[in-house]
Amino acid sequence: MSFHIHEKNGLTYLTCDLLSGVRHGFSTRRGGVSPPPWDSLNLGVGRGDAMENVRENYRRFCDAIGADAARCVLSKQVHEANVRLVTSDDCGKGLWRDRDYTSADAMICNQPDIPLVVFSADCNVILLYDDATGAVGAAHAGWRGTAQGIVKAAVESMAAQFGTHPSRIRAAIGPAIGPCCFETDNDVPDALRDALGEAAEPYMAWNGKKWHIDLRAVNALWLRRSGVERIDICDHCTACRTDLYWSHRKTGGARGAQIAMISL
């Protein structure tokens, strides 16, 4: 695994060697100003935390990775496979001004200094970078988005909008709930089989009561099917490491959210 943990001014975050050359980071819950139950680096909006805390947390995180907090563009996650083309007109949306879009589980961009932000508290977050065309992408994939192939849609949108060849894309799948802790009923495996057929079977295991599913591996499968060859997967399970991450499965709604961010 080429993911590395960094400590800067009390803030803890991860980067991935595969994305070297582009500003990016995967946040943890450490290093912010938010009080319990959002303590402390809560980067999720609309969770009950004071907005001044959230904005200060963004300033700290962006300072750590060298991005501009004033220009962040936040996703609008509704567990669909919609991809938004982001331009400079979108800068600040979700953090400093209202979002005028109702669905954006993935975003793509080829303009400099526009940090794309997707959220997680167990779901997969995937960052994409093509150094040939100077394009980036960020996707959020819960089980529904995974079944719908949200990351495949993001790759296809980068190809259509920027001429990106999938083989040039580098993809990093960040911290997420692992198969050790993601237990589910038949809805999820049925949806994955409908989307991927027998190819999904190696990533699903029945324990006699529930299914355990490796959604990170399934998203990597979507990437490979899309022509992406360079993929790295963080092995941190958010449900196992609640000292470092928020987990919706473990804490429910009384929590903050971590992010994945990427910016040219």
Q: What is the pLDDT of residues 14-54, one digit of tens each?
A: 999 999 999 999 999 999 999 999 999 999 999 999 999 99
| CA distances, 132 to each of 98, 110, 172 (Å) | 33, 11, 17
pLDDT digits (tens, 9 = 90+) for 140-157: 999 999 999 999 999 999
Number of domains in the chain: 1
Burial classification of residue 71, based on how many CB atoms lie within 10 Å of its CB (0-12 exposed, 13-18 middle, 19 or more buried): buried
**What confidence tier does 133 reach under pLDDT thresholds 50, 70, 90?**
very high
**What confidence tier does 1 reach under pLDDT thresholds 50, 70, 90?**
low
H helices within 99-165, ranges in order?
143-148, 150-162
**What confidence tier does 243 reach under pLDDT thresholds 50, 70, 90?**
very high
Q: Which domain holds residue 233?
A: 3-263
In this structure, what CATH number is given to the domain that contains residue 173? 3.60.140.10
> Percent of the chain beyond pLDDT 90?
97
- State residue 253's pLDDT score: 80
For residues 62-74, average pLDDT? 98
Check if the beta carbon of residue 119 is closer than 8 Å to that of residue 258: yes
